[in-house]
Amino acid sequence: MLVELKARFDEDSNIGWARMLEHEGVHVTYGLMGLKTHCKVLLVVRQEGDEIRRYVHLGTGNYNHATARAYEDLGMFTCDPEIGADATDLFNYLTGYSAQKDYRRLIVAPVNMRERLDGLLRREIAHARAGTRARLVLKMNALVDRRIIHLLYEASQQGVQVDLIVRGVCSLRPGVAGLSENIRVTSVVGRFLEHSRIYYFRNGGDEEIYAGSADLMTRNIDRRVEVLFPVTSPPLRRYLRDDVLGVYLADNASGRDMQPGGGYARLRPAEGEEPVQVQRRLLESRGGVWRR
């Protein structure tokens, strides 16, 4: 088991868990020197008959009972062989048994995330230049990385429709003439702390969606161990596109739109329009009960 001791607000708790696990005979490691481990990955390897099978959970949120009740997050459980192999390589990398430089399906910081994100954004720009409808919907906690921001400005200038759902700090300015007319920035404030990261690329109709632990911050991309995982199942992709991201963009009751000057304007339903609160919709769609 890998335990990150520099987990904000959880240092004492994690040290206690690590000591208890070691006392019970569990082999505990603490990650790579100089790199905070921020990814959320669980790997179970089982012998099933004559075969070894790997089950992987990948998430956007912490394995923490307190934040699980207060944060909005998502996760994926899979036995995809390539993701299982990638997860194995990732844990070998984290425990120092491998100098892994590439992955089959996962995007891993600081190994290949900068290069892959750059390529995904430039691909969408290329689609726009070729006259193909291009679209980006990126949901995160913070957007401050300069190289990513410059690529998003370039995407807007080339005609890519860009929707950014950013909970906190956003160093990009939307709606600036000649720079970012095609960019909208929305922030949602609700009962739960927004925490999931979801990245949608239209890719000329061959859509790709990634989710994971990484915000678009230089520290996350270059100085932490982070994972973004692909959602390849067509029903799950449609769910994330339409029933999650689509509802975030339709929120007219708990959302706020960033203005070109950096301020925010609270969204309110138009007269006769039904209020849409994304967190309430998502909770009730899973049988939960909304409390004010």
The catalytic residue positions are: 38
53/84 Cα distance (integer angstroms): 8
C-beta separation of 215 from 140 below 8 A: yes
Q: Is 268 buried (19+), middle (13-18) or exposed (0-12) by CB count in 10 A?
A: exposed
DSSP state of 97: S
Exposure letters 120-141 (e unless 16+ CB within 10 A, then b): bbeebbebbeeeeebbbbbbbb
Closest CA to 230 of 215, 216, 210, 212: 210
Partnered with residue 29 across adjacent β-strands are: 2
The CA distance from 58 to 61, in Å, is: 9
Distance between first and last Cα of the chain: 38
Strand locations in 215-284 (E) = 224-230, 255-258, 264-266
